[in-house]
Amino acid sequence: MFRPNLTFSFLITILIFGYPFTLYPQIILHKKKVIIIDPGHGGIDSGTTGENRIVEKDVVFKIAKKMVYYNRYFPNNAFEIYLTRSTDTLISLGDRAKLVKKLNADLFISLHCNHSENPNAKGIEAYVSKSNGQNTKEAIYLAYSLQEALSKDLGYIGRGVKFANFKVLRETSEHVPSVLMELGYLSNRDEAMYMDKEVNIHAIALTILQSLNHYKMIEINP
């Protein structure tokens, strides 16, 4: 089901085992974008659980930490990345959202895994706030960019960009472009097994980071 291209697989190998700086053009950036990555759930809130017993809160936390790790290997540390939680603890949705203003963030991305009563349901979804605010256009563009990158590089099925009234989106979207990503179904055996492999956690994290790096180079016309 998942068929990473050879170039991407080579890039993963190089970044894990060394010589990362030869792979990127040395672009000088005048201002780093501040990105808040929100690994969903935590603590007593495990989120969904896969057939193979992997847990959503752990999967998304691993992905978030790998994003921080790989950011060090981009030219000039491409972004300032902050996580809404640094350990396996439960942070309220309100407190997660407050970090946007506190850290003067540019983007907010919440990471989750999906679940369905239908074991054949699979693929990734991206959500943006239902409110049609000043950041909606950029949020939609960012959501499509992330979904397209994960589909193209990792073979995920894209299930589209959807609108929702999730609290973290509702309370952050008025300040910054905000996206909530559902990174596959843990209720799907194939996707749960995929998420259980460390190399795939690396791949997801790096794909998201590369997509964000591309996004920041494009100016959205108002």
CB 181 within 8 A of CB 110: yes
pLDDT tens digits, residue range 170-222? 999 999 999 999 999 999 999 999 999 999 999 999 999 999 988 866 544 34
Is the residue at 153 inside a domain?
A: yes
If you average pLDDT over residues 51-77, what whole number do you get? 92
Measured in whole angstroms, how far is the alpha carbon of residue 220 from the centre of its chain? 20
Is the residue at 28 inside a domain?
A: no
- Sheet strands (E) in the chain: 33-39, 79-83, 107-114, 124-129, 158-164, 178-185
Q: What is the pTM of this model?
A: 0.86
Q: Which residue has the higher pLDDT, 214 or 142?
A: 142
Is the residue at 154 inside a domain?
A: yes
CATH of the domain at 65: 3.40.630.40
Is the residue at 1 inside a domain?
A: no
- If you compute the radius of gyration of the chain from its CA atoms, what whole number of angstroms results? 16
Q: For the chain, how many structural domains are there in total?
A: 1
Domain containing 200 equals: 34-208
Phi then psi for residue 174, to 5 deg, are -75, -15
